[in-house]
Chain A
């Protein structure tokens, strides 16, 4: 088992290993750096939004820099947080996980640098119109709102850049298989490759939207574009993208957190099965974002709803497996009872604590997600601030707080400098948890009172008194999160610049109570699963897409901001 290889290495051996992976570490570090710079800028607008809700307008003072006010800020918040931060972090993280788990460097380092180069070039190209208020179309860029072509071209480059990592992974897997013909793929690498495979498949949607609809249209080559077709292609990618964010988090929850908890992963086979199910079920369900759209039949919406409930199943498997692993750790540390073992977990360890707190809020996010997915119940909440409350629990916490937790060990390991203050990191994790809990709870409540999302509430002609009573709590949560973010960035900057030099070992990959030998080998063979995945996509999407293409209308673009 590859996991046994890593655990128990001496510091000297660790240093030598790190030397072997110098390029991979540099690439991972650079990706993380871009990711967290993006989050710093994007996150700041979150606070401005929450204050604007309460009549405190900080957009006027910054108008000389950003002319577009609330909505330009919201575009930056969405694009930087969930398109740039997530994508760069994930590419860096999966580069690290794949090479360390297989124990070999990138198959092509030149391709690794090209990946980073193309993504960064794309980011810079897209950033220009965003900052100049020429792409205030929010992160969903629904036409006929028409942005500067550079925005679409830049984002497309970011996506195309990510595809290159999969090529590298596949080549690495070949090399590894040649050297280990009888062995099972180590779980972390298996998961990293499944994640990227799922992502490449699902990005065909947004790639088609960009290349065939938005880029030619924004360049003026065609007179208009079809908004429903564009939305359908967008959500073809837009739902599975949430698994692109989550699966890398699960990689940490499955392979590192059990080790940090002092125990073992409960079940390797169950983990493999859940990832294969994500690969199959993530994409053919995107229309659950279009329940309220005209131009799409109720029947296909219902089919997508049914499959959405299907993907709930691997999520529950993950929940069970991760909690069982935590229990294993708690008991290994002397914990007893049905639940008292929880107190035996290493709560003083910030990386562990951040990720477990992320899991707790994610459980609430998952429950809310079930409501959103529920076809006609969705009518109550669709496009209200309930939805914003929901995804701050999922991507805003389960993903973001876990990524922060990962950096608490990964950045010291990559840079060879100890975390500047573990105490500060602990406070940071708890403040994010509390702040987000408050923020999200009241955003959900406001949504039930029909408060629309993506709306400059503070500038409305009338604000409902019921909303006014709850809005201050949104700002309270936001300010607590702001404090948390400052603590995070302060700690990280001090770690990188002034942390004590030390060869910090990586957290070893967790071993499993029930290992891969208990699962069928066919799980490691991607072909049958890919065939099933493609078949389901064709069944669930082809009839609607073919009809939409055949009915295509050319609706002219508008710049209405």
Chain B
């Protein structure tokens, strides 16, 4: 009987942290996602992949300045490249990537940034990030899309800011 009692004590001593640890994780996640703003992609809207050439903003893929230091990058993904394949962005700018696919599912991951999205035909993927450090960032299609999948690599070139202080 005594042994059993000890067993229950051990069970409780394990169960309490087993509840507390996941809850602590969750709180941290909710704070970073909604207060710090490291958001995942959401439900942005649909688009007809066959009509991309006539559907704004995908009719003109590329980088657009919305305000000083604030950009929008419109990208299409297709077998086996991105349009545009290279984007040049001044350091310090905040960029919203708006991406869709013309054919199959692709991926869009910019190394050393939180930008990591699935690119699905018919859907618009959108994520925002700020580039602080100049340099070349590879963009990988990280979802198998066919025989040339490993060739599907793009680039973001972050140039030293012309007027970095003015942006801040």
Residues of B within 8 A of A (CB): 3-4, 7, 10-11, 14-15, 18-19, 22-23, 25-26, 29-30, 32-33, 38-44, 46, 48-49, 79, 103-105, 107, 109, 111-112, 114-126, 138, 140-151, 153
Q: Known: A145-B104, A376-B114. Is A454-B144 also a contact (CB below 8 A)?
A: yes
Residues of A within 8 A of B (CB): 69, 71, 74, 138, 142, 144-145, 226-228, 231, 266-267, 270, 290-298, 301-302, 305-306, 309-310, 312-313, 316-317, 320, 324, 370, 374-380, 382-384, 449-450, 452-457, 459-462, 464, 513-514, 551, 553, 555, 558, 560-561
Number of A-B contacts (CB under 8 A): 186
Q: Known: A320-B11, A383-B143, A384-B142. Is A450-B43 also a contact (CB below 8 A)?
A: no
**Inter-chain contacts of A453 with B (CB < 8 A):** 142
Partner pick for A452 among B38, B41, B142, CB 8 A cutoff = B142
Q: Known: A138-B144, A291-B40, A384-B109. Is A379-B150 also a contact (CB below 8 A)?
A: no
State how many angstroms separate the Cβ of A366 from the closest Cβ of chain B: 12
User: Are A316's CB and B14's CB within 8 A?
Assistant: yes
Apart from A376-B38, A560-B145: 10 A-B pairs, beta carbons within 8 A:
A144-B103, A145-B104, A294-B120, A297-B43, A309-B23, A316-B14, A375-B29, A461-B151, A553-B122, A560-B104
The 5 closest A-B pairs by CB, nearest first: A560-B146, A452-B142, A309-B22, A450-B111, A316-B18
State how many angstroms separate the Cβ of A462 from the closest Cβ of chain B: 8
User: Are A294's CB and B126's CB within 8 A?
Assistant: yes
User: Are B123's CB and A295's CB within 8 A?
Assistant: yes
User: Are B43's CB and A379's CB within 8 A?
Assistant: no
Partner pick for A560 among B116, B142, B147, CB 8 A cutoff = B147
User: Are A293's CB and B41's CB within 8 A?
Assistant: yes
Q: Known: A298-B40, A376-B32. Is A227-B122 also a contact (CB below 8 A)?
A: yes
User: Are A267's CB and B7's CB within 8 A?
Assistant: yes
Q: List 11 A-B contacts (CB under 8 A).
A: A145-B145, A294-B42, A294-B44, A298-B33, A305-B29, A374-B29, A376-B33, A377-B29, A379-B116, A513-B3, A560-B145
Closest A residue to B18 by beta carbon equals: A316
Partner pick for B138 among A270, A383, A457, A464, CB 8 A cutoff = A464
User: Are A292's CB and B117's CB within 8 A?
Assistant: yes
State how many angstroms separate the Cβ of A127 from the closest Cβ of chain B: 20
Interface-central residue, B10, B30, B48, B144, by most chain A CB under 10 Å:
B144
**Inter-chain contacts of A378 with B (CB < 8 A):** 40
User: Are B29's CB and A226's CB within 8 A?
Assistant: no
Q: Known: A324-B10, A379-B38, A457-B150. Is A144-B104 also a contact (CB below 8 A)?
A: yes
Closest B residue to A381 by beta carbon equals: B116
Distance between Cα atoms of A552 and B33 in the complex (Å): 29
**Inter-chain contacts of B147 with A (CB < 8 A):** 69, 71, 560-561
Partner pick for B122 among A375, A377, A555, A561, CB 8 A cutoff = A555
**Inter-chain contacts of B146 with A (CB < 8 A):** 71, 145, 558, 560-561
Interface-central residue, B32, B49, B112, B121, by most chain A CB under 10 Å:
B121
**Inter-chain contacts of B44 with A (CB < 8 A):** 294-295
User: Are A383's CB and B114's CB within 8 A?
Assistant: no
User: Are B41's CB and A306's CB within 8 A?
Assistant: no
User: Are B143's CB and A454's CB within 8 A?
Assistant: yes
**Inter-chain contacts of A551 with B (CB < 8 A):** 46
Closest B residue to A299 by beta carbon equals: B42
Distance between Cα atoms of A320 and B144 in the complex (Å): 39
User: Are A293's CB and B141's CB within 8 A?
Assistant: no
State how many angstroms separate the Cβ of B66 from the closest Cβ of chain A: 21
User: Are A374's CB and B25's CB within 8 A?
Assistant: yes
Partner pick for B103 among A317, A513, A560, CB 8 A cutoff = A560
State how many angstroms separate the Cβ of A297 from the closest Cβ of chain B: 5
State how many angstroms separate the Cβ of B104 from the closest Cβ of chain A: 5
**Inter-chain contacts of A312 with B (CB < 8 A):** 18, 22
State how many angstroms separate the Cβ of B121 from the closest Cβ of chain A: 5
Closest B residue to A457 by beta carbon equals: B150
**Inter-chain contacts of A309 with B (CB < 8 A):** 22-23, 25-26
Closest A residue to B99 by beta carbon equals: A294
